[in-house]
Structure 1
Amino acid sequence: MNSLSPSEKRQRNDHGRRGDPPPAPEPLPAPVLDSHTHLDLVGGDPDHWLAEAAAVNVTRVVQVGCDVPSSRYGVDLAHRNRAVLATVALHPNEAPRLGDRLDEALREIEAMAADPRVRGIGETGLDHFRTGEDGREAQERSFRAHIAIAKRYNKVLVIHDRDAHADILRVVDSEGAPEHVVMHCFSGDASFALECVKRGFALSFAGTVTFTSAAGLREAAHVTPLDQVLVETDSPFLTPMPYRGRPNNSYLVPLTVRSLATAMGVDLTELCDAISANGERIFGPW
């Protein structure tokens, strides 16, 4: 079993990214939030990047955990900087890597879940792209445990779904969803979007919605109601066009929001206001 954690693997993968950070885009006409970022992987001073984001009207972020160390990082940062809220979890690919240490790690995640600056349990879910058949039982057991934690502590469930749409719905339907569910980096088509919308989930769109090849994703955005949409970076990954492949950060959210407004056929300011209202309703006040 590979000994690297998901966050360590992602840091290693990011070493191959090319170029300097892109220039800041035109500020948005109203404030929004980045519903999913990994400032621990971005590098540098997080306060600097948060200030860069605020300068373009991205005034709040949700720092997302994917293992025990990154979850602790998020809790600490959220206590230190009021623009940040945290989520805590074991990434789906972390569960099979942990083996017989999974239960211990889940107990550590649950202990952090009680913190008032922790507003979500995630990113958890299923990943059929990187985890093969031999690891899927542990992955699903971890997902079900995270759902239970989210319901016990009345936290948002933040779902990672890669090539696992049907199984995500099967598990959530069988366990029963908490009050709020966010589909992180939504990757399905319009049909799957409607299934999620029907269940009351929020769909969080990343820079992928700007990619030329993502017509199906833009169709999914078009059928998503304004009161169920969020936007995210998943930084330092999934950098929006025209900077795909360069380092991503929350200050680039305006590029995604503008593309999303076009795909949804809504006014830009109206979309910004909806994203902010949805973020406050789902995650609570910052």
Structure 2
Amino acid sequence: MSAKRSAPELPEPLAPIVDAHTHLDACGATDAASTVAIVDRAASVGVGRVVTVADDLDAARWAVRAAHWDDRVFAAVALHPTRANALDDEAKAELERLADDPRVVAVGETGLDYYWPGKLDGCADVETQIEGFRWHIDLAKRVRKPLMIHNREADHDLLTVLLDEGPPERVIFHCFSSDTNMALSCVAEGYILSFSGTVSFKNAHELREAAKVVPDDQILVETDAPYLTPHPFRGAPNEPYCLPYTVRALAEVREEDPLELAEITTANARRVYRI
């Protein structure tokens, strides 16, 4: 179905904005030229910087290369929790090397995903995910970079592991999708919550309520492209240039001015990622 829908039209520009989490390789970028083309398209509507995120080792290598191709691109490296069973000694050594690269601004995406075990062939089981999550927490602390979290149906255990291990200075819940209680728990711990196009979905009532309780200094915006294209383009391919649609939807939920929210989230991204 998504392949049949055409890409969304360019939104009205809204600047400045930082896309705090995207996957440029999954958006079709393969080399420097195609990467620059996607980022140029984003910049034309005010999305001046992007963080491209890895979910496996090949993607981690690619993300670091992309961040060196264009100074508007930054990288995050980790193994996705569903791939934690690939976190052997060789993978750990390479992730440690990649995480030290100056163009890498976060360790992620890591965390826990309780939706896919038992549904997806080869998916890491819960125990393996928790072990991998603990290792990534330690890596983030050693390289002194933010921890970027993927959380799917694992609220309680995620917070428990973070408390048990002791979180790094900066923790980002990418594509926050939980309820108000979880949002308040994260806010109390000083964690940063990043909102994607899901906040524009009309059936995401609990998420929209949660978005209202996040303080201005603990909020980011992202596309998670090519996934989660904002309303009314749900099901169409997503790209960083679509971020203004999400910012305007989030601003409406929070009863804020879109330009002010763009400026707030950009200042937060610069502070959290140190870019």
TM-score, length basis structure 2? 0.94
Q: Deviations over 1:21-51 (max 9, x none)?
A: 11111111x3010000000011141211101
What CA distance in whole angstroms lies between the structure 1 residues aligned with 2:134 and 2:109? 13
What CA distance in whole angstroms lies between the structure 1 residues aligned with 2:40 and 2:13? 13
Q: Is the 8 A contact 2:230 2:245 kept in 1?
A: yes
Partner of 2:162: 172
Partner of 1:253: 243
Partner of 1:77: 66
1:135 maps onto 2:125 in alignment: yes
Q: Which runs of 5+ in 2 are unaligned?
A: none
What CA distance in whole angstroms lies between the structure 1 residues aligned with 2:198 and 2:92? 31
What CA distance in whole angstroms lies between the structure 1 residues aligned with 2:195 and 2:38? 21
Q: Is the 8 A contact 2:2 2:236 kept in 1?
A: no
Partner of 1:182: 172
Partner of 1:3: none
Partner of 1:9: none
Q: Is the 8 A contact 2:110 2:133 kept in 1?
A: yes
Partner of 2:22: 37
SS in structure 1 of the partner of residue 202 of structure 2? coil
What CA distance in whole angstroms lies between the structure 2 residues aligned with 1:215 and 1:90? 31
Given candidates 136, 140, 156, the residue that maps to 1:146 is 136
AA at the equivalent of 2:17:
V
1:232 maps onto 2:216 in alignment: no
Larger deviation, residues 108-117 vs 127-136: 127-136
What CA distance in whole angstroms lies between the structure 1 residues aligned with 2:167 and 2:262? 27
Larger deviation, residues 61-70 vs 126-135: 126-135
Aligned ranges 1:1-286 → 2 under 5 Å: 17-28=3-14, 30-44=15-29, 45-96=34-85, 98=86, 102-132=88-118, 135-285=125-275
Structure 1 stretches of at least 4 aligned residues deviating more than 4 Å after TM superposition? none
| Percentage identity across paired residues of the two chains | 48
Q: Which runs of 5+ in 1 are unaligned?
A: 1-14
Q: Is the 8 A contact 1:200 1:228 kept in 2?
A: yes
AA at the equivalent of 1:161:
N
What CA distance in whole angstroms lies between the structure 2 residues aligned with 1:104 and 1:55? 40
Cα distance, 1:116 vs structure 2? 0.7
SS in structure 2 of the partner of residue 86 of structure 1? strand
Q: Deviations over 1:66-101 (max 9, x none)?
A: 1111011111111110001101000000013x2xx6
Q: Is the 8 A contact 1:18 1:247 kept in 2?
A: no
Partner of 1:11: none
Cα distance, 1:16 vs structure 2? 5.5
What CA distance in whole angstroms lies between the structure 1 residues aligned with 2:117 and 2:244? 33
TM-score, length basis structure 1? 0.91
Cα distance, 1:20 vs structure 2? 2.2
Q: Is the 8 A contact 2:51 2:75 kept in 1?
A: yes
What CA distance in whole angstroms lies between the structure 1 residues aligned with 2:3 and 2:164? 40
What CA distance in whole angstroms lies between the structure 1 residues aligned with 2:16 and 2:273? 16
AA at the equivalent of 2:4:
R
AA at the equivalent of 2:13:
P
Q: Deviations over 1:95-135 (max 9, x none)?
A: 13x2xx62321221111111111110000000000024971
Q: Is the 8 A contact 1:184 1:203 kept in 2?
A: yes
Q: Is the 8 A contact 2:82 2:124 kept in 1?
A: no
Count residues in correspondence: 267
